[in-house]
Amino acid sequence: MRFLLVSGLGPSPSSVIYALDGTLLLPDVPQDLSNTYARLAGRPVDLWTFRVSGTDTPLLRYLSVEAPHLPTAALRSILESADVDYEWYNAQGVWQGHIAPPPGDFDVVGLSTTFIWDQYTLAKAIAWITKRYPAAAVVLGGQYSNLKYQAIFAAHPEVDYVIRGDAELGLPRLLQALAGKAALADVPNLAWRAADGAVLAPPIEYIDLEAHPSPSFRGTHWAVPYESMRGCPFTCKFCSFPAASPKWRYKSAEKICRDWAHYADKNEATVIKAYDSTFTIPPTRFRELLSRLPEVGVPWEAYSRANTLGTREVFQQLEAAHCQRLFVGFEAMNATALKNMVKGVTVEQNKRAVEAMRGSNVEIRGAFMVGYPGETPADFELTRRFLLEDYTGPFGVHFFTFWDETMPVWEDAAKYDLDVTSPIAWRHNGMDSKTAERLRLETLRDVRWGNDLAVHDSWTLSFARPLVPGHSLAKSQRVEKRLEQLAFLVKDQGEGEAAAARCRGILTDLQQLGVQTSAEAG
């Protein structure tokens, strides 16, 4: 039996891509914009020719190698442990059409829906499969199909089976059943159609994460992704994570340390990327990790909540444990939005975390949003003022969208008088999407020029960091801040004398920070 696995990241919604039009960060800067900067600076200004002073190292270096995709690695480990004859196809080929599909016939095609959020995207992927492999059985698994399997069976007769919950239990047994070696009724976590058309979906069974081997990776990787838990104990209304895996389970600190040491040794990983919704819970495990990880010696990054990061002592322990970066969902600095989204974190806890992180070598990348149902412009003003006056470090402000059809917020449509024309065109009883997008862009512009300690992080995510190797975290962020200001100067401030003076000043600052901004600079 030949099996084709289709998995990977989903399509990127254009609305959440950082707007680089009119800036020097475009891969191909228009000639008229280049001419404008040359006039303001009195010489050519091309970020792509900037170098680390005294070297030939470009300042802007695209990440050439991505970390492995965690769901794909997990699925490949499952298939290889079961000795399944399979091929893998990167789902980016489905969305972009640039990767040739594997030749030949397949008996079964499995589609991971972990990074699929809506009916349109799913339908596109199913059509891609059935057009190329019409005789194959189609199996879905992952976040979206786990939650939407009833609707999927109703809308897509092409779909034969859905694995719900842990694929480690269901997928190998399903393939055995399709090979005539087991009965469908004995396959754990399987949803399928009975002869009369009824959808059969027995209760979900779960694996023991502590006892089950963690995914393996082929070859060497500079970064290895990691999953230390499944499910989530929180019930944020903008997140479907808990519903997809209702039973919250997590690995012990001992197993985590053992796994990370293994990846560093076998795969030569120089950083572990923990992709759990909140790696810093439960508190007892977090404390044990902070005591064990210094000895493991592997740098790492993870996601956290603000209420676990409220003291300077925690950040000192994180530094000793080799934590490089934490992604923190602050979401809002007003009680209305935090209450509406059932975040379970207060404004004061958010503020304490930001205060505690000042001066730390652990980078905090804070995420905020504008436009959550029920939030008014006056509510969001509290978030804007906080970013402008008090925030330090990288941050993002995300325009709320309704791409994910599995978010619990849909249950509150009547409460907020939701009117959703499209994922990016909506209104509720607090504001509409046009207002939210305007507030977002105004906030980014105001913080860009009004807070020298805060850097909008979206444009930096594609580049190797630190931009200038050897700098402290604080100095690296000053480089990023000045580069962002330079790139957006004309877009934000026009072409007058004030802009010219600022342009020259920024170039001088960058040179003092270790950036060679022209061929003549030393």
pLDDT band at 351 (very low <50, low <70, confident <90, very high): very high
386 exposed, middle or buried (CB, 10 Å; 0-12, 13-18, 19+)?
Answer: buried
Contacts of 295 (CB under 8 A, 6+ apart): 257
Give the Cα separation of 63 and 464 in Å (integer).
Answer: 5
Give the Cα separation of 65 and 223 in Å (integer).
Answer: 9
Q: Given the structure tokens 């004061």, which residue do they identify? A: 348
**pLDDT tens readout for residues 29-47:** 999 999 999 999 999 999 9
Contacts of 318 (CB under 8 A, 6+ apart): 290, 326, 360, 362
Contact 480, 453 (CB under 8 A): no
pLDDT band at 13 (very low <50, low <70, confident <90, very high): low
Dump the DSSP string for 419-454.
EEEETTEEE-SS-BHHHHHHHHHHHHHHHHHH-TTE
Amino acid identity, position 250: Y
Residue 46: its H or E element: none
Residue 424 vs residues 332, 401, 437, 443, 517: alpha-carbon distances, Å: 20, 5, 9, 19, 39
Give the Cα separation of 298 and 272 in Å (integer).
Answer: 7
pTM of this prediction?
A: 0.92
Chain CA centroid to CA 300, Å: 16
Residue range 181-200: average pLDDT? 94
Q: What mean pLDDT is reported for the chain?
A: 94
**pLDDT tens readout for residues 141-163:** 999 999 999 999 999 999 999 99
Which token pair is 406?
A: 């599995």
The percentage of the chain sitting over the pLDDT mark of 90, rounded to a whole number, equals 89
**pLDDT tens readout for residues 377-386:** 999 999 999 9
Give the Cα separation of 273 and 270 in Å (integer).
Answer: 10
**pLDDT tens readout for residues 374-412:** 999 999 999 999 999 999 999 999 999 998 898 999 999
Domains and CATH numbers, the chain: 29-63+478-516 (no CATH), 66-165+167-200 (3.40.50)
In this prediction, residue 371 carries a pLDDT of 97
